[in-house]
Chains A and B, each alone.
Chain A
Amino acid sequence: MKEQVPIRELSNFLLDFSTTLMSAGVHTSRVVRNVHRIAGSFGYSVEMTIFQKHITMSILHAEDDSIRRTSVRAIPAGTFNFNTISQLSSLSWAANDEHLPLEELRRRYEAIVAEPRISRWWVLLLVSCANASFCRLFGGDPAAMGLVFVATLVGFFVRQEMMRFHVNHMAVFVVASFVASMIASVGVWHHWGETPQVALGTSVLFLIPGVPLINSIIDTLEGHVLVGFSRAVNACILIICIALGLSATLLILGLDLL
């Protein structure tokens, strides 16, 4: 076995590592596997409890159980980042296979976390195109697609700006859904094309929290039922917010279409 790593530093690193992964939107069992892998390469074993907002982790030496450390760390609210998931996951294999020293792991971890995201303007443009083609999948004609493109462009921009100023995320979803559906309702009002009601119906779909929904079911099926249900409840709250924004539009315009 390699010479012993200070348990305090290992514990801090593993907590940073696992809270970052959780806020990047990974399902729970991958976090557990990755943490076990890294701790194992230093000759420690780990038991961890994961909740929606906190991680409790006990690290103990495989041979001498008087060397142990237990700590709790809050999971920061973060935006999803699959690039981080992919790279941190392979970092855990690197630790396992090459027995990298802790300083090297820490250095690589900081580099991965610091990697820049895709430009927000690209995201804005691509999400708008995506929602427009989503409208086509639901049977919308070109007029409806154009309308949804504009509605998503404005709605997603509103969401990005409100997120930037750290507005409450439920308020963000209500307002973004209201703005997007209000713009799409112009088509219903002026009878643009054959399918303006499809445009109104799909204009808010870019807000649907798809990744949390998928993760919640994976967690539930894999036995992390509490995390899974917390995620499902959070996703349901957001869906209710989307429906509230949309129903405000329907109420204001006196429409009864959907």
Chain B
Amino acid sequence: MTDSLILSILADGAFAAVAATGFAVISNPPKKAILIAAGLAAVGHALRFYLLHNTVLDITTASLAAAFAIGLISMLAAKLIHCPAEVFSFPSLLPMVPGMYAYKTVLATIRFMSSHGTGDPQELIVQICQNGLTTIFVMFALVIGVSLPMFIFHKQSFMMTRLLNNKRPA
């Protein structure tokens, strides 16, 4: 790996961390969860960036791998701070949610419907399908990736918040 590649991966992770923090605070997470969400988002997004730019993987598979990594680390983190894992694994997925593909699908549909439409209708149909399918598949990849570790460690994932109470003096 060249230095510039490492640098751009690190920058990608750092900006993803800021993005995750901002999108997380909208849903008022516990304060200790915000930092972990930022860290997880950095790892996940940087991993996806690396896979997208340096391997043959497409955005769906890369998202699946990134979400799986987030899911694994969030299980460990949940054990450490005794919070349900989704409290920080969901916010860390938010920068990877395919929002732009989603609204581009709608924009292409609007343009296809308008009679004085600019652009070739066949090209627009391709855009609608491409953006729409990417949205759906990436969303499924994110959710399946992040919940695979929870299926693997099924029992532990229920117990995360219980440990909180075992620590409390009786």
Q: Residues of A with Cβ closer than 8 Å to B?
A: 25, 27, 30, 33, 79-87, 89-90, 92-94, 96-98, 117-118, 122-123, 126-131, 133-134, 136-138, 201-202, 204-206, 208, 210-211, 213-214, 217-218, 221, 239-240, 242-244, 246-247, 250, 256, 258
CB distance from B33 to the nearest CB of A (A): 7
Contact B118 A83, beta carbon cutoff 8 Å: no
The residue that A80 contacts in the complex, of B12, B28, B83, B140, with Cβ under 8 A, is: B28
Contact A82 B29, beta carbon cutoff 8 Å: yes
Complex CA–CA separation, A233 to B84 (angstroms) = 26
- Flag whether B99 is at the interface (Cβ < 8 A): yes
Residues of A within 8 A of B35 (CB): none
Residue of A nearest to B93 (CB): A214
Complex CA–CA separation, A96 to B163 (angstroms) = 12
CB distance from B161 to the nearest CB of A (A): 4
Residues of A within 8 A of B99 (CB): 205, 208, 210, 239
Top-6 shortest CB links A-B: A130-B22, A208-B99, A243-B106, A80-B27, A133-B15, A90-B161
Contact A137 B12, beta carbon cutoff 8 Å: yes
Contact B97 A213, beta carbon cutoff 8 Å: yes
Contact B27 A211, beta carbon cutoff 8 Å: yes
- Between B106, B107, B144, B161, the greatest number of chain A beta carbons within 10 A of the residue's beta carbon is seen for B161
Residues of B within 8 A of A218 (CB): 143, 147
Contact A90 B164, beta carbon cutoff 8 Å: yes
A-B contact pairs, 27 of them (CB 8 A): A30-B84, A82-B90, A86-B33, A86-B84, A90-B165, A93-B162, A96-B162, A97-B165, A98-B170, A123-B25, A127-B22, A127-B26, A131-B22, A133-B15, A133-B18, A137-B12, A137-B19, A208-B97, A210-B99, A211-B27, A211-B94, A221-B144, A221-B147, A239-B99, A239-B102, A243-B106, A258-B107
Contact A86 B27, beta carbon cutoff 8 Å: no
Contact string against A for B residues 96-108, beta-carbon threshold 8 Å, 1 for contact and 0 otherwise = 0101101110110
Residues of A within 8 A of B90 (CB): 82, 210-211, 214
Residues of B within 8 A of A214 (CB): 90, 93, 97, 139, 142-143
Complex CA–CA separation, A245 to B139 (angstroms) = 23
Given contacts A130-B19, A258-B107, contact A118 B28 (CB under 8 A): yes
CB distance from A163 to the nearest CB of B (A): 11
Given contacts A93-B165, A208-B97, contact A82 B23 (CB under 8 A): no
CB distance from B95 to the nearest CB of A (A): 7
Residues of B within 8 A of A240 (CB): 106
Given contacts A81-B27, A90-B161, A123-B26, contact A130 B21 (CB under 8 A): yes
Residues of A within 8 A of B166 (CB): 97
Given contacts A97-B166, A98-B165, A208-B102, contact A217 B139 (CB under 8 A): yes
Complex CA–CA separation, A210 to B95 (angstroms) = 9
Contact string against A for B residues 156-168, beta-carbon threshold 8 Å, 1 for contact and 0 otherwise = 0010011011100
New A-B pairs, 11, CB < 8 Å, besides A97-B162, A134-B95, A239-B103? A83-B28, A90-B164, A97-B165, A97-B166, A98-B170, A118-B25, A128-B22, A201-B100, A205-B100, A239-B99, A256-B119
